[in-house]
Structure 1
Amino acid sequence: MSRAHAAALAWGKTLLAIVAGLGATYGAALAATTGVPAEPAPAQGVELADVIVPPSGGARPAFAAEPMAAHADPVASYTLRASLDPKLHQVRGEGTIVWRNASRVPQREVWLHLYLNAFKNEKTNYMRQRARGFRGGGALVDYGWIRVSKLYARELETELWDKADKHTPGDPDDETDIRVPLPRAVEPGETITFDVAFVSDLPSVTLRTGFDDSFHMVAQWFPKLAKIEPDGRWAHFPFYRFSEFYADYGNYDVTIDAPEDFVVGATGRLDKETLKDGRVERRFVQEDVHDFAFTAWDHFREVTATTADGVALRCLYPPGFDRVATIELDAVRFGLEHFGAAYGKYPYGTVTIVHPPRGAGEAGGMEYPTLITTGGAWWTPETGARAIEGVTIHELGHQWFYGLVATNEHAYPFLDEGLNTYAEGESMEARWPGHSAVRLPGGFGVALPAGYRVAAAEVEHNDAVAQSAAGFASGGDYGSLVYSRTATILNTLAGVYGPDKVREAIGRYTRRYRFRHPGPEELLGVVRDTIGPDAELAMRVAVFERGWVDYTVAEVSSSRMATLGGVFGDPDKPSAAPVLDTYGYKGRVLVRRRGTLVFPVDIDLVMEDGSTKRVRWDGKGVTHEIDYEGERRLVAAVIDPEHHVLLDDDLLNNAQSERGGGPGSRVLERGIFGAELLLWLLAP
Structure 2
Amino acid sequence: MNQRQGGRGGWGRTALAIAVGLGATYGAALAATTSVSAEPPAAAGVELAEAVIPPSNAGSGALPAFAAEPMAAHADPVASYTLRATLDQTLHQVRGEGTIVWRNASRIPQREIWLHLYLNAFKNEKTNYMRQRARGFRGGGALADYGWIRVSKLFARELDSELWDKADRHTPGDPDDETDIRVPLPRAIEPGETLTLDVAFVSDLPSVTLRTGFDDSFHMVAQWFPKLAKIEPDGRWAHFPFYRFSEFYADYGNYDVTIDAPEGYVIGATGRLDKETTNGGRIERRFLQEDVHDFAFTAWDHFREVTATTADGVALRCLYPPGFDRIATLELDAVRFGLEHFGAAYGKYPYGTVTIVHPPRGAGEAGGMEYPTLITTGGAWWTPETGARAIEGVTLHELGHQWFYGLVATNEHAFPFLDEGLNTYAEGESMEARWPGNSALRLPGGFGVALPSAYRVAAAEVEHNEAVAQSAARFASGSDYGSLVYSRTGTILNTLAGVYGPDRVREAIGRYTRRYRFRHPGPEELLGVLRDTLGPDAELTARQAIFERGWVDYSVAEISSNRMAPLGGLFGDPDKPSAAPVLDTYGYRGRVLVRRRGTLVFPVDIDLVMEDGSTKRVRWDGKGVTHEVDYEGELRLVGAVIDPEHRVLLDDDLLNNAQNERGGGVGSRVLERGMFGAELLLWLLAP
Q: TM-score, normalised by structure 2?
A: 0.91
Distance 1:488 1:209 in 2: 30
Query: Please, which of 119, 131, 146 is the counterpart of residue 116 of structure 1?
Result: 119
Distance 2:242 2:672 in 1: 41
Task: State the partner residue of 1:42.
Answer: none
Task: State the partner residue of 1:150.
Answer: 153
Amino acid at match of 1:149: S
Task: State the partner residue of 2:368.
Answer: 365
Aligned: 1:204 with 2:207: yes
Q: Deviations over 1:479-520 (max 9, x none)?
A: 100000100000000000000000000000000000110000
Which secondary structure does the structure 1 equivalent of 2:198 belong to? strand
Any gaps of 5 or more consecutive residues in structure 2?
Answer: 1-23, 37-48, 681-687
Cα distance, 1:616–1:665 mapped onto 2, change above 3 Å:
closer
Aligned: 1:481 with 2:484: yes
Which secondary structure does the structure 2 equivalent of 1:624 belong to? strand
Task: State the partner residue of 1:350.
Answer: 353
Distance 2:675 2:86 in 1: 61
Distance 2:679 2:315 in 1: 48
Larger deviation: 124-133 or 518-527?
A: 124-133
Alignment of 1:436-451 (within 5 A): 436-451=439-454
> Contact 2:571–2:580 (CA<8 Å) still a contact in 1?
yes
> Contact 1:652–1:663 (CA<8 Å) still a contact in 2?
no
Task: State the partner residue of 2:416.
Answer: 413
Amino acid at match of 1:264: I
Cα distance, 1:54–1:670 mapped onto 2, change above 3 Å:
closer
Cα distance, 1:11–1:640 mapped onto 2, change above 3 Å:
farther
Cα distance, 1:547–1:12 mapped onto 2, change above 3 Å:
farther
Query: Please, which of 541, 544, 552 is the counterpart of residue 541 of structure 1?
Result: 544
Amino acid at match of 1:53: P
Cα distance, 1:252–1:52 mapped onto 2, change above 3 Å:
farther
Task: State the partner residue of 2:41.
Answer: none
Q: CA deviation at 1:442?
A: 2.1
Task: State the partner residue of 2:525.
Answer: 522
Distance 1:527 1:319 in 2: 46
Which secondary structure does the structure 2 equivalent of 1:111 belong to? strand
Q: Deviations over 1:66-121 (max 9, x none)?
A: 00000000000000000000000000000000000001111111100000000000
Query: Please, which of 311, 314, 325 is the counterpart of residue 314 of structure 2?
Result: 311
Alignment of 1:316-335 (within 5 A): 316-335=319-338
Q: Deviations over 1:522-550 (max 9, x none)?
A: 00000000011111111000000000000
> Contact 1:15–1:673 (CA<8 Å) still a contact in 2?
no
Distance 1:493 1:526 in 2: 13
Distance 2:462 2:677 in 1: 24
Which secondary structure does the structure 2 equivalent of 1:569 belong to? coil
Query: Please, which of 465, 469, 473 is the counterpart of residue 472 of structure 2?
Result: 469
Q: Deviations over 1:174-207 (max 9, x none)?
A: 0000001111111111110011000000000000
Alignment of 1:426-437 (within 5 A): 426-437=429-440
Amino acid at match of 1:497: Y
Which secondary structure does the structure 2 equivalent of 1:489 belong to? helix
Distance 1:444 1:303 in 2: 32
Query: Please, which of 503, 513, 516 is the counterpart of residue 516 of structure 2?
Result: 513
Q: CA deviation at 1:440?
A: 1.7
Task: State the partner residue of 1:32.
Answer: none
Task: State the partner residue of 2:233.
Answer: 230
Task: State the partner residue of 1:263.
Answer: 266
> Contact 1:585–1:632 (CA<8 Å) still a contact in 2?
yes
Cα distance, 1:598–1:614 mapped onto 2, change above 3 Å:
same
> Contact 1:52–1:327 (CA<8 Å) still a contact in 2?
no
Which secondary structure does the structure 1 equivalent of 2:344 belong to? helix
Which secondary structure does the structure 2 equivalent of 1:442 belong to? coil
Which secondary structure does the structure 1 equivalent of 2:334 belong to? helix
Task: State the partner residue of 2:392.
Answer: 389
Task: State the partner residue of 1:86.
Answer: 89
> Contact 1:98–1:193 (CA<8 Å) still a contact in 2?
yes
Alignment of 1:291-306 (within 5 A): 291-306=294-309
Aligned: 1:585 with 2:588: yes
Task: State the partner residue of 1:28.
Answer: none
> Contact 1:11–1:652 (CA<8 Å) still a contact in 2?
no
Q: Deviations over 1:438-488 (max 9, x none)?
A: 112221111111100111111110110011001111111111000001000
Q: CA deviation at 1:563?
A: 1.4
Which secondary structure does the structure 2 equivalent of 1:149 belong to? strand
Q: Deviations over 1:398-436 (max 9, x none)?
A: 000110010000000000000001000000110100111
> Contact 1:606–1:612 (CA<8 Å) still a contact in 2?
yes
Q: CA deviation at 1:9?
A: 4.0
Cα distance, 1:440–1:120 mapped onto 2, change above 3 Å:
same
Q: CA deviation at 1:58?
A: 1.9
Task: State the partner residue of 2:189.
Answer: 186
> Contact 1:116–1:176 (CA<8 Å) still a contact in 2?
yes
Query: Please, which of 52, 70, 79 is the counterpart of residue 50 of structure 1?
Result: 52
Task: State the partner residue of 1:680.
Answer: none
Query: Please, which of 535, 554, 564 is the counterpart of residue 532 of structure 1?
Result: 535
Q: Deviations over 1:190-235 (max 9, x none)?
A: 1100110000000000000000000000000000000011111100
Q: CA deviation at 1:132?
A: 1.4
Query: Please, which of 44, 48, 63 is the counterpart of residue 66 of structure 2?
Result: 63
Larger deviation: 98-107 or 130-139?
A: 130-139
Aligned: 1:619 with 2:607: no
Amino acid at match of 2:56: P
> Contact 2:104–2:191 (CA<8 Å) still a contact in 1?
yes
Amino acid at match of 1:69: A
Amino acid at match of 2:459: A
Q: CA deviation at 1:383?
A: 1.6
Query: Please, which of 554, 559, 576 is the counterpart of residue 557 of structure 2?
Result: 554
Distance 1:159 1:533 in 2: 54
Amino acid at match of 2:164: W
How large is the RMSD of aligned CA atoms in angstroms? 2.3
Distance 1:270 1:52 in 2: 30
Percent identity, aligned pairs only, is 88
> Contact 1:12–1:673 (CA<8 Å) still a contact in 2?
no
Q: CA deviation at 1:167?
A: 0.4
Q: CA deviation at 1:581?
A: 2.2
Task: State the partner residue of 1:290.
Answer: 293
Task: State the partner residue of 2:568.
Answer: 565
Distance 1:675 1:407 in 2: 34
> Contact 1:653–1:663 (CA<8 Å) still a contact in 2?
no
Q: TM-score, normalised by structure 1?
A: 0.91
> Contact 2:29–2:671 (CA<8 Å) still a contact in 1?
no
> Contact 1:11–1:676 (CA<8 Å) still a contact in 2?
no
Distance 2:53 2:624 in 1: 49
Q: CA deviation at 1:631?
A: 0.7
Which secondary structure does the structure 2 equivalent of 1:253 belong to? strand
Q: CA deviation at 1:667?
A: 13
